[in-house]
Structure 1
């Protein structure tokens, strides 16, 4: 930290004038991307950086262009952070930029526990303002998304990951069959959701995390924050876990946003749920490759089950009424009680009990979080060993992807419902949509 302090002090002296650095504190984890809070000359700042330029190599644009985009958004009156300086090679801190610190809540749990009355309207209005940013002020490096090409890339990734998850194959085929015509492009934030906004007592305070921004369809942004996973348990409130889609759309349109096309919104809701399902699978690939060997990464890889559940819930209306009414088949039989030498399950349980009793009480800070993640990982293994449930079925996935099989096939929807219920119960038993799906499907 001493080296970073000295380097950061030199950088701030050059960009913000004389001062003294204090209160340097890392805000976020992760092996590569970092956020640091600090004070300089009586004001608060945040440094966002990647210690190595190699981390940014596979991204469509780097931190200099990202910073230029954030500055353009701020200049256009959007509630984006105020960038005060961009790191250069000679600064010795990798790539990144410094911003003025904003003091407000960012935790979805904190915000959604008592959201300000204006918040849903604020989110709709702010998104309209983002989409109104003049294209001429957007850096040339910010790419234009071709939806057909992006969907083809998702298909290719799915096949590279095994191509054997039926719910994902079903969603890919549906998106291919319902691809909307190109829309007039706007600046799309790309990650507009709870967790990436800051909220104060008076409402929306800031929009963060612009690294996925691109030019594209406004409905992509409209849909993303409405995904089930980003409602953080408030699944009865489809707009950000705060309120209704009607109120959200009305606020967006009243602020100058495009007229909402409900079919286009549905496409993007399914597309981005599919995108995140593959994103979770990618986390597992990152762990396997050695790019990120953290326990957190491999556990996120098992959150694919949440998105598969959501995809079946989104797509089930495509099935005939008789198939939607068909009862679910039973779950696989539970394992019998063990005898003889300790089983794999019992060994894992013993390790988990030891971590909970001896390790967890002695940890604090980020280490305590890592212990909780490790216990969660072992919990997944225990439930998996009990249930013996797998999500892979290459033959069915191939039939769905090719269109040879559809949800009109007798018993297919009931089978998919049972399988995603059982898999999510293993991987994410506390996922709010799981209880809702069980009630809806009488599972």
Structure 2
């Protein structure tokens, strides 16, 4: 962001902070991450604060809940004993810096790598279960009226509409959508869901949970949805072996949640929502390419996230294959084809590697969000380089549509093996260090 833009944010902050008796901030630092929202940290009157904002009202025009509503949910959760931040004030149009709110900064790191390396992972897991139970205890009368309520069937229909809009040509996602339609559970008494409760949106320090962030997806729904989302393979990062948030076992997670909430976790509903949110995030990744192409968000991170669709396809197939006949599951996927040695002039992939290596030399010069963007750029170049080593990616609209209408299923001879090979190939190109890839390779091909 340019110096002029930073100056405009500082001026708007001055107006907003005056409402709560605080002085103007001396400086701003853009925090890394933030797929849909900006976060800026600053200090004033001897304390640290965070501005969370969307640059314009148009940017969040389709959100079901306003920032004022989100701020009210956060405050209600904090008063219920959740480790949520204190919201000081909500931005007003006259502040001139978009939509958002200012909150008191909490201690701790959101970095999954650092949290997962902490001693006392079991303690953080129990505290996470406790906070989730407290979120689920909040009553409708304590929350703003614009908190949406999930209709399970409508949510599936929306995912299917997104799928068709994106081309309707991904067989594994089609398989997931058909499974959701066939296995959607009956509604239960809705509770407040955080909606994005996972590693990356919690803070921890010294082996303890210190904060729960990013409440923009809060809604009323099935408590199992919140429980399942953080247990997706993608959010366990390097700790694939710890199925509960990357911190521990599902048994310990469920026991802690049940003790705090008084509810019993239904394993079948948990599995449903694990599959539902995996399809949901696969579509979220695909949508990132759309918003980049149509110009509504030209951030480099969008195109990189779009290629992470392959992670979700791999995870989805690993979740669904247990429903396939044993004879289909037993068919081994073929090992990956080794690329031929390249001769002659440099390929596009080699050029991408050269640019990536040069960017690495700039890393010491970068700070904050720019350092994060440099890492994203290098990831993008790595994807281009690895594309040289695989068969060009192919979409299969006819197969996807046949799956959606039930003409092809996991019982179809050879289909599961075909989908396994496609999933492995795509993840090898897109995210070769994805932890689930090594597990899938061993299970599906016998290779370590």
TM-score over 0.5 for the pair: yes
Q: Distance in 1 between matches of 2:35 and 2:311?
A: 25
Q: Distance in 1 between matches of 2:350 and 2:130?
A: 50
Task: Tell me the secondary structure at the aligned position of residue 29 of structure 2.
Answer: strand
Contact 2:348 2:385 in 1 (8 A): no
Query: Who is 1:268 aligned against?
Result: 273
TM-score by length of 1: 0.94
Q: Distance in 2 between matches of 1:359 and 1:259?
A: 50
Residue 318 to residue 85, structure 1, CA distance change in 2 (3 Å): same
Alpha-carbon shift at residue 86 of structure 1 (Å): 1.1
Query: Who is 2:361 aligned against?
Result: 360
Is 2:253 the partner of 1:245? no
Is 2:309 the partner of 1:307? no
Q: Distance in 1 between matches of 2:137 and 2:312?
A: 31
Q: Distance in 2 between matches of 1:24 and 1:43?
A: 13
Structure 1: runs of 5+ lacking an equivalent: none
Is 2:417 the partner of 1:414? yes
Residue 351 to residue 383, structure 1, CA distance change in 2 (3 Å): closer
Q: Distance in 1 between matches of 2:25 and 2:341?
A: 62
Alpha-carbon shift at residue 71 of structure 1 (Å): 1.3
Q: Distance in 1 between matches of 2:22 and 2:410?
A: 66
Query: Who is 1:178 aligned against?
Result: 183
Contact 1:223 1:269 in 2 (8 A): yes
Alpha-carbon shift at residue 170 of structure 1 (Å): 0.5
Alpha-carbon shift at residue 297 of structure 1 (Å): 1.1
Q: Distance in 1 between matches of 2:389 and 2:22?
A: 62
Contact 1:320 1:408 in 2 (8 A): yes
Q: Distance in 2 between matches of 1:47 and 1:280?
A: 26
Query: Who is 2:103 aligned against?
Result: 99
Query: Who is 1:156 aligned against?
Result: 161
Query: Who is 1:372 aligned against?
Result: 375
Selected match of 2:144 from 111, 120, 139: 139
Q: Distance in 1 between matches of 2:227 and 2:413?
A: 35
What is the CA deviation profile of residues 161-189 of structure 1, one whole-angstrom value per residue up to 9, with x for unaligned ones? 11111110000001110000001000010
Task: Tell me the secondary structure at the aligned position of residue 215 of structure 1.
Answer: strand
Query: Who is 1:108 aligned against?
Result: 112
Alpha-carbon shift at residue 94 of structure 1 (Å): 1.5
What is the CA deviation profile of residues 210-238 of structure 1, one whole-angstrom value per residue up to 9, with x for unaligned ones? 00000110000000000000001211110
**Mean Cα deviation higher: 118-127 or 371-380:** 371-380
Residue 131 to residue 18, structure 1, CA distance change in 2 (3 Å): closer
Task: Tell me the secondary structure at the aligned position of residue 84 of structure 1.
Answer: strand
Structure 2: runs of 5+ lacking an equivalent: 1-5
What is the CA deviation profile of residues 352-409 of structure 1, one whole-angstrom value per residue up to 9, with x for unaligned ones? 3144137733741244433332232222122222212424111211111111111111
RMSD: 1.9
Give the length in aligned residue pairs.
438
Query: Who is 1:405 aligned against?
Result: 408
Query: Who is 1:281 aligned against?
Result: 286
Task: Tell me the secondary structure at the aligned position of residue 261 of structure 2.
Answer: coil
Structure 1 residues 314-393: aligned runs within 5 Å: 314-329=319-334, 331=336, 334-335=339-340, 337-339=342-344, 342=345, 346-357=347-358, 360-361=361-362, 363-365=365-367, 366-393=369-396
TM-score by length of 2: 0.93
Task: Tell me the secondary structure at the aligned position of residue 89 of structure 2.
Answer: strand
Contact 1:32 1:51 in 2 (8 A): no
